[in-house]
């Protein structure tokens, strides 16, 4: 299952304020994309290690990188007053939420990236919240 995160704001009649809000939304989305990729590369939070058979198959013990498809699938679409960050790899949500039926433990990478982005934006004086939606 792919993942999509929509970022936007309520319509505002003030055009100048609307432009500024759009800049903030776009900046937050691009930061989120960068942070999702960083968490994937870093290995995120301490995860349940890969099984020995998985390490042999992949040739690596990194739990979130096998072929690099998930990393490459993280993209952002910037709209006129919104932005959408996608993780298009079909198995992304299995890693984020776990899939016991597939023997995949939970290895969140989006929520740690969201938390990092919220902190970075707050450090810039912008208070945001994100609500990720499962699926696309």
Neighbour count for residue 11 (Cβ, 10 Å): 8
**Average pLDDT, whole number, for the chain?**
83
Proportion of the chain above pLDDT 70, given as a percent: 84
The token pair at 78 is 């910037």
**pLDDT tens track for 108-136:** 999 999 999 999 999 999 887 766 555 44
Q: Which of 46, 110, 116, 111 is nearest to 73 (CA)?
A: 110
Angle in degrees, CA 71, 52, 46, rounded to 5: 55
Predicted local confidence at residue 54, as pLDDT: 83
The average pLDDT across 98-111 equals 89
Residue 119 CA, chain-centre distance (Å), reads 15
Higher pLDDT, 46 or 75: 75
Residue 53 CA, chain-centre distance (Å), reads 28
Angle in degrees, CA 34, 28, 105, rounded to 5: 50
Predicted local confidence at residue 1, as pLDDT: 44
Predicted local confidence at residue 136, as pLDDT: 45
**pLDDT tens track for 28-64:** 999 999 999 999 998 767 777 888 888 888 888 888 8
């Amino acid at each position: 299952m792919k993942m999509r995160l929509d970022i936007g704001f309520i319509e505002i009649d003030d055009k100048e304020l609307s432009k500024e809000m759009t800049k903030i939304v776009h900046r937050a989305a691009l930061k989120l994309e960068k942070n999702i990729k960083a968490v994937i590369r870093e290995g995120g939070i301490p995860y349940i290690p890969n099984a020995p058979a998985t390490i042999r198959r992949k040739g690596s013990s990194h739990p979130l990188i096998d072929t690099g498809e998930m990393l490459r699938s993280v993209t952002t679409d910037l709209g006129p007053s919104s932005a959408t960050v996608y993780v298009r790899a079909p198995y992304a949500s299995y890693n984020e939420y776990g899939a016991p039926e597939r023997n995949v433990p939970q290895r969140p990478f989006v929520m740690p990236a969201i938390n990092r982005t919220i902190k970075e934006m707050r450090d810039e004086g912008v208070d945001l919240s994100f609500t990720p939606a499962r699926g696309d």
